[in-house]
Chain A
Amino acid sequence: MTQPLATAEDVRRIVLEALGDIAPDADLAHLDPKADLREATDIDSMDFLNLVSALHRRLGVVVPEADYPQLATLAGMEAYLMARARP
């Protein structure tokens, strides 16, 4: 029996929550979905690892390092997670 995939809203909410924990001062409401996420939110490699860890915990999605380039933008991250996350 397959569960339905997570909705776009679920994924977006979880991504923004995780980002907000890491970059509390970033203006996430006006984040350009196509912009380089690490530039836009000023997060370093430790922050990014914490973000990927949070996505693993909350969505059960393990993002291999080789796939990091697909998570370079908010839009890319949401598309990647949508295709793999279960609610």
Chain B
Amino acid sequence: MGLFRMPSLGADMEAGTLVEWLKRPGDAIRRGDIVAVVETQKGAIEVETFEDGVIERLLVAPGTTVPVGTPLATLAGEEAAVATMTPAMVPVLEIAAAPAASPPQPPAGAPTLASPAARRLAAERGIELAGLAGSGPGGAVRLADVERAAPRRAAGIDLADMRRAITAAMARSKREIPHYYLGSTIDLTNATAWLARTNADRAPEERLLLAALELKAVALALRRHPRFNGHNVDGDFRPGAGIHVGAAVAIRGGGLAAPAIRDTDTLGLDDLMARLRDLVGRTRAGHLRSSELGDATITVTSLGERGVDSVFGVIYPPQVAIVGFGRPVERPWAVSGRVELRTVVTATLAADHRVSDGHAGALFLAEIDRLLQEPDSL
């Protein structure tokens, strides 16, 4: 028998609130399946299982806050199967989003027409049917109307909570990690020209962003420079089991998360771009998965086309390095004894001096530069 526990989703998480069970007793689960939704300072996180089995019993009801490591459910081996099935302990709970801003007023005194499914969903989400505009016959409220009024997504991210999480992690970083900083200007002319050629024939949905090339170059460079990929735990450097690059994603209204793209070095650019796109969308909607939060082995922050020339990052503990890319700019640049207009970017590295030195960091940045000169090989 196994236990499904409240996961640790970052160095500073002590407890989480179970929001929703996505599986019920008797459900078979496989490694990677999303079993529950947990509310943390980084928004509502979809928690995956690392074991195969069958959900036996749910131990914690939605709405309960428990410390990291607390068993949430018991799992039986697959043979145990359905015999243990009990009536669902708790109905699936939805997080009620903010109600529609200015609901149209129904005619005074008229009873609200609504489909049974719409009534059920509205009750679950704590929405007044009378406040909804119905699109069904005779103005009846349909399921879709309720969906629109309270989309099933995280109530959003509590930015104050997230700020506290950032404060804790960054204060710990600055307190404990002796950072050193390096910067290097990289000629991106080849990379941006390659990108323009590649995107020219593509529909917008299929296009690549420079960020995907940057992430891939960092991931490939880490294969040769593993001292920058991993965690520093109690003064011991533990190399990452894979190269899982955390992509820093800014959240509207303030806030930041750096969910991991697992095995970034093995992904083709199209797959990497699709993962990045999905990840940015879900980060901003407050909808990340547990495996994306805990296990980044390095972070890359890219400030994109607007903003500043360079960014010197603060390492996210227990990681040991963060690579920053500023805004690509056109500059007069010396190339083979002549001055040309080239697109350049400042790449920076902040790294943990307990694990590596500036010389190693310089070689790591140089390798990123070399890789970005050959976008075809990314």
Contact = CB atoms under 8 A, between A and B. Distances in A.
A79 interface: no
Interface string A21-42: 0011100000000000011001
A2 interface: no
Contact of B204 (A24, A25, A42, A62): A62
B201 to A, nearest CB: 9
A85 interface: no
Interface string A44-61: 111001101101100000
A63 interface: yes
Interface in B251-296: 252-253, 276-277, 280-281
B217 to A, nearest CB: 17
Given A25-B252, A65-B199, A49 B304 contact: no
Nearest to A52: B204
A45 B253 contact: no
B207 A45 contact: no
B288 to A, nearest CB: 16
Interface residues of A, number: 20
A63 to B, nearest CB: 7
A45 B209 contact: yes
A46 B214 CA distance: 14
A66 B211 CA distance: 18
A46 B306 contact: no
A73 to B, nearest CB: 15
B204 A38 contact: no
A26 B8 CA distance: 34
Contacts, number: 45
Contacts of B207: 49, 65
A53 B281 CA distance: 14
A56 B280 contact: no
A64 B199 CA distance: 8
A2 B52 CA distance: 58
A53 B205 contact: yes
A27 B275 CA distance: 30
Interface residues of B, number: 20
B110 interface: no
A4 to B, nearest CB: 25
Given A25-B252, A44-B304, A49 B200 contact: no
Given A42-B252, A44-B250, A56 B304 contact: no
Nearest to A57: B205
A24 B284 CA distance: 11
Most B CB contacts (10 A, CB to CB) among A44, A55, A56, A65 go to: A44
Nearest to A54: B204
A64 B200 contact: yes
Contacts of B204: 49, 52-53, 55-56, 62-63
B339 interface: no
A62 B209 CA distance: 17
B158 to A, nearest CB: 15
A52 B277 CA distance: 14
Interface string B198-228: 0110011101011100000000000000000
Interface in B286-315: 304-306
B203 A45 contact: no
Nearest to B252: A25
Contacts of A46: 209, 211, 276-277, 280
Contacts of B211: 45-46
Given A46-B211, A46-B280, 20 more contacts: A23-B252, A25-B252, A38-B306, A44-B304, A44-B305, A45-B209, A45-B211, A45-B304, A46-B276, A46-B277, A49-B204, A49-B209, A52-B204, A55-B204, A56-B204, A56-B205, A62-B203, A64-B200, A65-B207, A66-B200
The 7 closest A-B pairs by CB, nearest first: A53-B204, A52-B204, A44-B304, A45-B304, A56-B204, A53-B205, A46-B280
Interface of B: 196, 199-200, 203-205, 207, 209-211, 250, 252-253, 276-277, 280-281, 304-306
20 contacts: A23-B252, A24-B252, A38-B306, A39-B306, A44-B250, A44-B304, A45-B209, A46-B211, A46-B280, A49-B204, A49-B209, A50-B277, A53-B205, A55-B204, A56-B203, A56-B205, A62-B203, A63-B204, A65-B200, A66-B196
